[in-house]
Amino acid sequence: MTFRLFFPPLPVCVLRVYVYPVRHNHHDPVLSLEKICYTIDKGDEKIELISDATIHVNPGHFMAIVGPSGCGKTTLLRVIAGLNEESSGNIFWNGRNLAEEEDLSPAEIGYVPQFSIAFDELSVEESIESAVRLRVRSGSRKKMKAMRDHVLSQVGMKELRDRRVGVLSGGQKRRLGLALELASNPTLLLCDEVTSGLDPKSEQEIVQLMHHLANDGDRIVVNVTHSLSNLELYDTVLVLFQGHVVYHGPPARMTHYFSVDSAENIYPTLAKRSSAQWHKSWDKHRCSYYQGNKADNEAGASKPGQDSMPTAIPGRLAQLQVLLSRRWKIFFRDRTQILLHLAMLFGFPLLVVIFGLDGVPQPRHLPSLSSVNPLEQIGTQMEVTTNHLKIGGLLSGLVMFQVILLTLMGSNNSAREIAGERLIFEKEKFAGLHVSSYIASKIFFLATLVVIQSVWMGIFVEFLIPSLPGDLVGRLIILILVNAAMTSICLGISGMMRTPEQSSLLSIYLVGFQLPLSGAVLSLPHWLEPVTRTFISAYWGWSGSLDLMKDGNFSQAINVVTEDTSLLATSVCFTILTLHITAGITAAYIGAKRHRWH
């Protein structure tokens, strides 16, 4: 009997999101690879990383992929997962060709990478609960908690449920990685070097756990490992050598096949012949090995399993709520970030106020000069001009200082926001996370920071320098927009960059160029102004704020210092800054949709 369900497309890297469960015949393989090849272009040369790989795996099966370093183990696993698209050949899952029909859905597959995929600030329980809520439409809080507790029990972490991820041992983090993938109860669990770097005892415990997970129903567990320890716990071992399958059978028969005394001697033995020769030899013996294991495979396939309906992925709004709640929780637990934000929040306005403690004097005006002699007229005019220069320069400097410090805050807000958690995000995207939900969570989180920082900056400066001219509400809106513009642009940079270091460096450079390229300090050549100012958020914040201050008393003073850099109307500044915000968010969305698994 076949069930077909359709869900709206999800923005998951290379997975199409049609849920297509088919009840399988326990005597047939669930996962089959037929002559799979994977080739990459390196300059003008084509390099084949996987060559003619053919394997069959039954339900409830635990398989290891082993081989010397660089033989293609992880590459093959990524091809099975759909992270790398095969160059030729076919992959079959439950009888359907994944190249021609629907790919594996996020609910059918789990992928445990070698790197850590959890936030250090969260507890074990919070991490698993977050995974369940992002991947499974549980329907009720009670059911969600039951699923979370079941996963904790499966991986043996009930006693560690309240422990922070950041203090877990290597083995405990690997267990957590498995737990996060079990949230959706996948029927195919792919593990990439999850035992690397562990001590022998921890390695054995993780392999035993994976063995238990494979034997619990019809789940297939595939583990890539360089280690040849604990092979007796696997149902079969797939040996790769230079991209070729050279053995796939029970671990007990490996030594006989390779004519060695122990598994540790297999790698040196492989080097004695070419990979093509080993592969040709395996092609001759493969059928007899599969035939010899037929009884064992059928016995394993007869284990009690559940042909359950796949889990439905939560909607965008539900995922947004989970992401936003988690982001604030992480924010308040990161003491370093809290201290940095507080230092900026209170320190930056004080820096601005220092330069305006004496207040802003009222501009002087020329008296009626009809009865004054020419020399006195010249002296009075020079005094008024000097007064206007002082007042205009003070207002221009105070505004520009506020704007530049807010752009610095904006850079700090978002420069690492996506790039800093890219690996976790890519894994969650692979598991069904909507990119739109992810970006929306960033917008809501950052918008809160922007409003608090900008409003506090404006009100604090207004309170201590009460003689500032212009409408306070209008100036606050400008400050919010300029902060939001830089925050959005740096969020876009964070989404486009591969590493947080690259994103931070580029964001710092962007802030550094704000002041000199704004033209507020030194006038730019007329032919260069339209080119640079279009992209300088600080200029539009400065221009819009000064335009609001040009009331009857201060208009002449401001005109004196801005006559070579004419101000644009506040409405134009609003529009340009809004376009900056839109461009930054768009870039962040495009960058988030790109595949950045590496």
Q: pLDDT tens digit string along 427-450?
A: 999 999 999 999 999 999 999 999
Report pLDDT digits (tens) over 123-170. 999 999 999 999 998 778 899 999 999 999 999 999 999 999 999 998
Between the ranges 7-11, 360-364, 530-534, 584-588, where is the mean pLDDT highest? Answer: 584-588
Region 267-281: mean pLDDT is 92
- Residue 188 three-state SS: strand
More confident: 300 or 370: 370
The CATH number of the domain covering residues in 1-108+186-314: 3.40.50.300
* Residue 3 reports pLDDT greater than 50: no
Q: How confident is the model at residue 453 (pLDDT cuts 50, 70, 90)?
A: very high
Closest to 61 in 3D by CA, of 161, 189, 168: 189
φ and ψ at 531, to 5 degrees? -75, -50
Amino acid at 363: P
> Average model confidence (pLDDT) for the chain?
85
- The token duo for 121 is 């600030």
- Residue 387 three-state SS: helix
Determine whether 299 is exposed, middle or buried from the number of CB atoms within 10 Å of its CB (0-12, 13-18, 19+).
Answer: exposed
Model pLDDT, residue 191: 94
| Torsion sign (Cα): 325, 326, 332, 338 | negative
Region 576-595: mean pLDDT is 95
Among 5-14, 406-415, 536-545, 568-577, which stretch is predicted with the lowest mean pLDDT?
Answer: 5-14
State the DSSP H helix or E strand holding residue 482, giving kind and residue range, or none if neither.
Answer: helix 472-496
Q: Report the distance separating Cα 126 and Cα 326, nearest Å.
A: 9
Report pLDDT digits (tens) over 370-384. 555 666 666 667 876
Q: Report the distance separating Cα 457 and Cα 451, nearest Å.
A: 10
pTM equals 0.86
Q: Are 269 and 260 in contact (CB under 8 A)?
A: yes
- The token duo for 377 is 């007229």
Torsion of CA 272, 278, 284, 287, to 10 degrees: 120
Between the ranges 99-103, 236-240, 280-284, where is the mean pLDDT highest? Answer: 236-240
Region 485-498: mean pLDDT is 95
Amino acid at 332: F
- Residue 221 three-state SS: strand
Determine whether 131 is exposed, middle or buried from the number of CB atoms within 10 Å of its CB (0-12, 13-18, 19+).
Answer: buried
* Residue 18 reports pLDDT greater than 70: no
Torsion of CA 565, 571, 577, 583, to 10 degrees: -120
Q: Report the distance separating Cα 561 and Cα 550, nearest Å.
A: 12
- The token duo for 548 is 């609001």
Categorise residue 95: left if φ over 0, alpha if ψ from -120 to 50, beta otherwise. Answer: left
Q: Report the distance separating Cα 517 and Cα 535, nearest Å.
A: 9
Q: Report the distance separating Cα 559 and Cα 571, nearest Å.
A: 19
Q: Report the distance separating Cα 255 and Cα 46, nearest Å.
A: 34
Q: Report the distance separating Cα 149 and Cα 161, nearest Å.
A: 9
Model pLDDT, residue 158: 93
Model pLDDT, residue 65: 96
Q: Are 430 and 106 in contact (CB under 8 A)?
A: yes
Q: Are 200 and 168 in contact (CB under 8 A)?
A: no
- Residue 536 three-state SS: coil
Q: Are 31 and 220 in contact (CB under 8 A)?
A: yes
Report pLDDT digits (tens) over 328-363. 999 999 999 999 999 999 999 999 999 887 777 777
Cα 519 from chain centroid (whole Å)? 36
Q: How confident is the model at residue 117 (pLDDT cuts 50, 70, 90)?
A: confident
Buried b (16+ CB within 10 A) or exposed e, 503-540: bbebbeebbeebbebbbbeeebeeeebeebbebbbbbb
Model pLDDT, residue 369: 55
- Residue 173 three-state SS: helix
State the DSSP H helix or E strand holding residue 40, giving kind and residue range, or none if neither.
Answer: strand 31-42
Buried b (16+ CB within 10 A) or exposed e, 14-38: ebebbbbbeebebeebbbbbeebbb
Q: Report the distance separating Cα 207 and Cα 193, nearest Å.
A: 11
Q: Report the distance separating Cα 180 and Cα 124, nearest Å.
A: 10
Distances (CA, A) of 157 to 38, 95, 132, 288: 38, 36, 16, 42
Q: Where are the domains of the chain?
A: 1-108+186-314, 118-183, 323-354+385-593
